[in-house]
Amino acid sequence: MKIAAPTTIAPRALLARLVAGEPTAVLDVRADADAPIEAAAARLRHVPAGEATEAAGALAAELAADTVVVCHRGLSARGVAEALCAAGMEAPQILDGGMRGWLHVLRAVPVDLGVEGLQVRQVQRPGRGCLSYVLAAGGEALVVDPAPDAAFYRDVADELGARIVAVFDTHLHADHLSGARELAASAGAALHMPQASIDRGVAYADEVQAVRDGDVLTIGGIDVTAIALPGHTTDMTGLLLAGRVLLSGDSLFADGLARPDLERGDPDGARVMARTLHTTLHERVLALGDDVVLLPGHDHAVVRTGAVAPRLGDVRARVAELSIADSDEFAEHILQGMPPRPANYAAVIDANAGRTAVDPDLESGGNSCATR
């Protein structure tokens, strides 16, 4: 009997399959299985590669023909998939490039904000839990917090009939690499960054148009106002659209808060930043009103079928910490049980500031910018 050979599936094809709700068994054979592929349609099973190979017979009988085998880079997954084939499974698939490939897959999701003349695409990066945005109006586009895939954002803008004229990073990111500088250069667009980011030591400051609190960027006749949101970092800056949509960057998420310890990491510095975050959330964010739509900079590392765009009122009800009135109590609460800082976060900051060369391998795992 001829034994079937495993095939490969591209990360983007797997993402489309999961978004469509097609049942998929994900066999994760990494030793640690950090930030696994999660989706409503995914049935996740974690068995380290050595154990999976030894138990190939039992796994082949247990798993369905819709199985995708996942490892770090697609190498050890092949040995497991071949063992499954030898045990009688029909054509299991190997995720091409493994989780390294999955970390970079992007998907553009429409967001209907009810702002006349404005088209918005939320670019979801499910492998990292990052959210970025393409705002298009009057044939012009502004891209906010892009991932390192300039071609993807140019394609999204083209589909919207717009030319990218401005790119904006909300702050110096610590948990993922920025694609803002590369995208601005390739699109011939203006590169914008908070003045406070430049003050933190951006090596390419001569390429940047500084943005301060209250400054207005105009895209196709629509005003986008910068709003300083310090707390996560000193330079964290959001964007306010028509007074009713807030791109919050890494200050407030759909169901959580930004961590305050990635710029001033010592306990005293983190506590000061936590109190600053409390002031920002109450006086600058929640003060906008419950009906304002929140477009956050992060989500959980999970495949969504729609956009992440809650009302501030819903977020207020969902995030218990927002009910803490005292800033000192708030600071002590969120600093307790803080998860580990993002892997390589200091090196990621240096790369995003242009002080060191960009190394794609600096990125790993899911969203680590939240307090929980």
Q: What is the pLDDT of residues 148-172, one digit of tens each?
A: 999 999 999 999 999 999 999 999 9
Same domain as 248, residue 176 = yes
Res 279: pLDDT: 98
What pTM was estimated for this model as a whole? 0.95
Share of the chain above pLDDT 90, in %: 86
CA gap 75, 294 in Å, rounded: 40
Whether 322 maps to a domain, the answer reads yes
Res 289: pLDDT: 97
Res 367: pLDDT: 75
CA gap 120, 107 in Å, rounded: 13
Res 341: pLDDT: 84
CA gap 175, 224 in Å, rounded: 26
Res 3: pLDDT: 66
pLDDT higher than threshold 90 for residue 366:
no
Domain extent at residue 340: 103-362
Share of the chain above pLDDT 70, in %: 99
Alpha-carbon distances, residue 158 vs 12, 61, 136, 358 (angstroms): 19, 47, 10, 27
149: closest CA among 189, 186, 119, 192? Answer: 186
Whether 368 maps to a domain, the answer reads no
pLDDT higher than threshold 80 for residue 47:
yes
Reported as type and span, the H/E element at residue 150 is: helix 150-159
123: closest CA among 256, 307, 312? Answer: 307
**CATH number of the domain enclosing 11:** 3.40.250.10
CA gap 252, 256 in Å, rounded: 6
Same domain as 191, residue 223 = yes
CA gap 321, 326 in Å, rounded: 11
Res 369: pLDDT: 80
Whether 335 maps to a domain, the answer reads yes
Same domain as 92, residue 135 = no
**CATH number of the domain enclosing 144:** 3.60.15.10
Same domain as 95, residue 107 = no
Q: Please, which residues bridge with residue 123 across strands?
A: 108, 132
Q: Order of strands, edge to edge, in the sheet holding 119-125?
A: 107-111, 119-125, 130-137, 140-144, 163-168, 190-194, 208-211
Same domain as 43, residue 22 = yes
Same domain as 55, residue 130 = no
Same domain as 96, residue 108 = no
- Averaged pLDDT for residues 110-115: 94
CA gap 162, 166 in Å, rounded: 11
Give me the chain's average pLDDT, please. 94
Whether 372 maps to a domain, the answer reads no
Domain boundary, last residue among 101, 122, 148: 101
Whether 1 maps to a domain, the answer reads no
Domain count for the chain:
2
Domain boundary, last residue among 50, 74, 101: 101
Whether 354 maps to a domain, the answer reads yes
Reported as type and span, the H/E element at residue 277 is: helix 267-280
Question: Minimum mean pLDDT among 62-66, 220-224, 298-302: which range?
Answer: 62-66
Whether 371 maps to a domain, the answer reads no
Same domain as 319, residue 224 = yes
Domain boundary, last residue among 47, 77, 101: 101
Same domain as 56, residue 78 = yes
Alpha-carbon distances, residue 85 vs 2, 11, 353 (angstroms): 10, 21, 47
Res 364: pLDDT: 80
Res 199: pLDDT: 97
pLDDT in tens, 260-318: 999 977 778 999 999 999 999 999 999 999 999 999 999 999 999 999 999 999 999 99
Whether 26 maps to a domain, the answer reads yes
Cβ contact 262:369 at 8 Å? yes
Residues sharing a CB contact under 8 Å with residue 32, sequence separation 6 or more, in sequence order: none
Same domain as 97, residue 46 = yes
Same domain as 164, residue 137 = yes
Instruction: Write the DSSP symbol of residue 287.
Output: G
Res 2: pLDDT: 56
Same domain as 108, residue 92 = no
